[in-house]
Amino acid sequence: MKPDVNPSSHASAPFDPQQLSRALLDWYGQAGRDLPWRQTRDPYRIWLSEIMLQQTTVAAVIGYYQRFLENFPTVEHLAAAPQEAVIDLWAGLGYYARARNLHAAAQRVVEDFAGSFPAEIDELMSLPGVGRSTAGAISSLAFERRAPILDGNVRRILCRLFAWQDAPRSSRAEKQLWLWADLLTPGQQVHDYTQAIMDLGATVCTPRSPDCESCPLSSFCQARRQGIEQELPLKPKRKKVPVRTEAALLICRDGSYFVRRRQASGLLGGLWEFPTISVPEGKPPEQQAAQLLRDQGVSGRLKSLGKIEHLYSHFRLELHLFHANLAEPQLVNEESGDWCPADELENLALHGAHKKGLTLLGG
Ligand code: SF4
């Protein structure tokens, strides 16, 4: 897929783009962050860090990045690993589709590119989980190719620099912001420029409180000039999302809990969960939970632990959790799952709502 850029969109700036990139590079020379993936030009390591950093902070990623490299030092090691091993190592980082895509992309690199990451944007974008911005980051950071990026940080900076007072995620915004990102990307030192603009967004031009006083771009910034930097980018209008209700059973035996792995494909694929049942509208969750307990081949007294809510991209989940303490010799249908000691649940690749539900166990 070729990057889609609308040639009719307008790509000029009310300042000299070269002066701006010079100011940013000078600042980066003094204030740039020293991060583990910055000491390499290895595209495998850079790709790994870029995928991990999507939707996650640097502080959360560092330990995972190091553990992944210890377990999978090359793309061949990652490609050869079972998908479950990749998902289990990803446990706690969230957005598990990234782990599945990571594994699938490693296999593509080995099979289609003989184990060497491509440098071209469209070839990089053919890998699962690699969008245009991630492709731009890999191409510029690993191969020193002139390629713009437009991640969340850069999107915010551009909205402020150019005082973009429209929705920041519309298709119109998408085209215009990519043109501006391209306009500002210099022909030289593109590796440093990419790192610099990421750092500026993470440390200076932050979402809630941009530090314009110490910003190297303040003399170029149109939002700052108009005093509207706090208001940009405009917040997207909240959409009403449908609600799903489920009941989950925390079945306990000898201090361990019964968990099962979800199917590899589909929503939250490959993650662990407690046995779960959908609760149709109007039905009491307790009734469904009791049915689910019978489905597991056991009877017992259920204790309600409470309810948690978890927001997914296209629905909100209301999850009712119930505790069921099994007395010997009762057994659930163990073929479909496994027993996990209570103190290891935190480290298990449980899906987000169920992980959140663990907080109710302590009470
Ligand atoms: S001047 Fe302020 S709003 Fe503008 S880019 Fe710098 S930190 Fe962001």
For 205-262, write each residue's pLDDT tens digit: 999 999 999 999 999 999 999 999 999 999 887 778 899 999 999 998 888 999 999 9
At 328 the pLDDT is: 60
> Residue 232: CB partners within 8 Å, gap ≥ 6?
156, 159, 160, 163, 164, 165, 223
| Ligand 1 interacting residues, C-beta cut-off 6 A | 157, 160-161, 204-205, 210-212, 215, 217-218, 221, 223-224, 229
> How far does residue 236's CA lie from ligand 1's centre (Å)?
20
Range scoring the smallest mean pLDDT among 1-5, 23-27, 129-133, 237-241 = 1-5
At 238 the pLDDT is: 77
Q: Could you report the per-residue pLDDT of 246-255, keeping only the tens digit for each?
A: 999 999 888 8
Q: Which fold has domain 243-360?
A: Nucleoside Triphosphate Pyrophosphohydrolase (3.90.79)
Question: How far, in Å, are 74, 115, 116 from residue 112 at the CA level?
Answer: 16, 8, 9
Tell me the whole-structure pTM to 2 decimals: 0.84
Omega before 329 cis (within 30°)?
yes
Decide if pLDDT at 363 tops 70.
no
At the top level of CATH, which class does the domain 17-226 belong to? mainly alpha
Listed ranges 90-94, 182-186, 264-268, 270-274; the one with the highest mean pLDDT: 182-186
> Residues of the chain with pLDDT > 70: what percent?
95
- Please list the active-site residues: 50
Domain ranges of the chain: 17-226, 243-360
Nearest CA to ligand 1 atom 3: 229
DSSP track, 112-180: HSTT----SHHHHTTSTT--HHHHHHHHHHHH--------HHHHHHHHHHTT--S-TTSHHHHHHHHHH
Q: Could you report the per-residue pLDDT of 44-98, keeping only the tens digit for each?
A: 999 999 999 998 889 999 999 999 999 999 999 999 999 999 999 998 888 888 9
> How far does residue 213's CA lie from ligand 1's centre (Å)?
8
Range scoring the smallest mean pLDDT among 31-35, 117-121, 133-137, 155-159 = 31-35
Task: Report which ligand 1 atom has the smallest distance to the Cα of 217.
Answer: 6
